[in-house]
Amino acid sequence: MSKEKKQKSSIWGGRFKTGPSNLMEQFNESISFDKTLYSEDIKGSKAHAQMLAHQNIITHEDFTAIQNGLNKIHEEIANGSFTFKVELEDIHMNIETRLAELIGEPARRLHTARSRNDQVATDIRLYLRNQIDQLDTTLKNLQKNLWKKAEENTQTLMPGYTHLQTAQPISFGFHLAAYIEMIGRDRQRFQDCRKRVNECPLGAAALAGTSFPIDRHLTAKLLGFKKTMPNALDAVSSRDFALEFLSVASICAVNLSRLAEEIVIWSTDRFNFIRLSDEFTTGSSIMPQKKNPDAAELIRAKPGRILGNFVSIATILKGLPLAYGKDLQEDKEPLFDTQKTLSISITIMSEMIKDMQINASAMRDALQRGHPTATDLADHLVRKLQKPFRDAHHISGNIVALADEKECALENLKLEDMQKIEPELDESVYNVLKIDAACNARSSFGGTAPDEVKVRLAEAAIRFNLHDEGD
Ligand code: ARG
């Protein structure tokens, strides 16, 4: 460890004889990651300065100088000419120091009635609000692509599964429409979370408010926040809004992973229900025939990271006394990583859905196995022969066993063979054993019958606003 005496911080060095050690500097810094917040930090500072001027705490000339200086810094960071310095610890001090270089004294008045504690809380809230809005657009886009594929495939029949065993005939469109609903709930959860993100902590200062005559409602308004946080101590301490974002993101990632897994299964050569485009698959370095669904597998794996990020912040917050503790600096990387991971996963899923080709004949072939109309046979026995459902289930099961014995589909059994099990059966049984009839018959609200699916898709498009200008 270097023992050389370091320069004291120009921002908080007053009561120190020396600066922190190199090791401490490395350990303590956040600039390597919180520079992500530069735009939000500048926005927050401008609003704060405007309010200070409005309240006559600083002059209007100072405000103008601060605003121009901050605009210049925004430009420098955006075009890559800004030099971030580790010795300036974080984004707040990097910007403030540069501002002083650019405009001199007015920069040193900016931090009046403010602390990095309320500043950073404001930055994260602005960041998350913006990210939630972007995620909503991305999720909606995924819904649109699912919707389009669903609409094209309301008559494309495939086995519906329970326990991944053939259950009943459904359409591929019906299956995709299930995900439109799931993603819709993810969007709702993000919107709900957004309400609690969209509250303004600025002006809470270090923890207890300030003796300057600030107007917290004005800064809240300038930054587009819906509400001013009513307790300063809570405003700087709480990160439950970030935890909530991570929990919603975790649920969303988990939902995506289910679709990803189905894509992996459907694209195996055993199923062969879909073909993924070359863009979202990779080859093997040894097996020339391979086309691996890497994109779907990665989406399947990402909840590991995102749930890890949730646990990370939950653990940081657990038992943390009010108000600020440096522990809270550790909230950023899990948040940034979650946003990045989730956003790219949704986009890739969306593109994969758009590009995938559907193999309708393989889906139909699969319906020839596993007796997907056995329930329809039982229902027929109830309707036609007034059997109690439990008895009908039993008889249908015996007929399934007979078909297995003869290695044929139910609809290929001879009537006289079926009559040995249930003498009252007649020719009309063949109507219900047909795959298409079985699918069409499930026309109850939310069922798989193509006409019903079309109605529900039309309604979903309105409910989720999927036919907007973006189409
Ligand atoms: N870099 C810090 C963070 O991310 C900013 C707040 C520092 N506040 C303090 N009292 N040291 O949390």
- Name the residue at shortest CA distance from atom 12 of ligand 1: 329
Q: Spot the catalytic one: 2, 81, 163, 211.
A: 163
Distance 12 CA to ligand 1 centre (A): 12
- Rounded distance from Cα 226 to ligand 1 centre (Å): 25
Domains and CATH numbers, the chain: 19-112 (1.10.275.10), 117-151+171-207+229-365 (1.20.200.10), 368-463 (1.10.40.30)
In this structure, the residue with its CA closest to atom 10 of ligand 1 is 117
Average pLDDT over residues 441-456: 98
**Using H for helix, E for strand and C for coil, what is the string for the chain?**
CCCCCCCCCCCCHHHCCCCCCHHHHHHHCCHHHHHHHHHHHHHHHHHHHHHHHHCCCCCHHHHHHHHHHHHHHHHHHHCCCCCCCHHHCCHHHHHHHHHHHHHCHHHHHCCCCCCHHHHHHHHHHHHHHHHHHHHHHHHHHHHHHHHHHHHHCCCCEEEEEECCEEEEEEEHHHHHHHHHHHHHHHHHHHHHHHHHHCEECCCCCCCCCCCCCCCHHHHHHHCCCCEECCCHHHHHHCCHHHHHHHHHHHHHHHHHHHHHHHHHHHCCCCCCCEECCHHHCECCCCCCCCCECHHHHHHHHCHHHHHHHHHHHHHHHCCCCCCCCHHHHHHHHHHHHHHHHHHHHHHHHHHHHHHCEECHHHHHHHCCCCCCCHHHHHHHHHHHHCCCHHHHHHHHHHHHHHHHHHCCCHHHCCHHHHHHHCCCCCCCHHHHHCHHHHHHHCCCCCCCCHHHHHHHHHHHHHHCCCCCCCC
Active site residue 217: no
Per residue in 396-431, pLDDT (tens digit) is 999 999 999 999 999 999 999 999 999 999 999 999
**Mind listing the pLDDT tens digit for each residue in 327-386?**
999 999 999 999 999 999 999 999 999 999 999 999 999 999 999 999 999 999 999 999
Active site residue 163: yes
Point out the ligand 1 atom lying closest to the alpha carbon of residue 34: 4
Which residue among 111, 120, 316, 320 is best mutated to probe the pocket of ligand 1, counting the most ligand atoms within 8 A of its Cβ? 120
> Could you read off the pLDDT of 230-253 as tens digits, one per residue?
999 999 999 999 999 999 999 999
Q: Ligand 1 centre and the CA of 219: distance in Å?
A: 20
Q: For ligand 1, which residues put their CB under 6 angstroms from it?
A: 30, 34, 90, 116-117, 120, 324, 326, 328-329
Q: Is the pLDDT of residue 139 over 50?
A: yes
| 28-85 confidence digits (pLDDT tens) | 999 999 999 999 999 999 999 999 999 999 999 999 999 999 999 999 999 999 999 9
| pLDDT-derived band at 201, boundaries 50, 70, 90 | very high
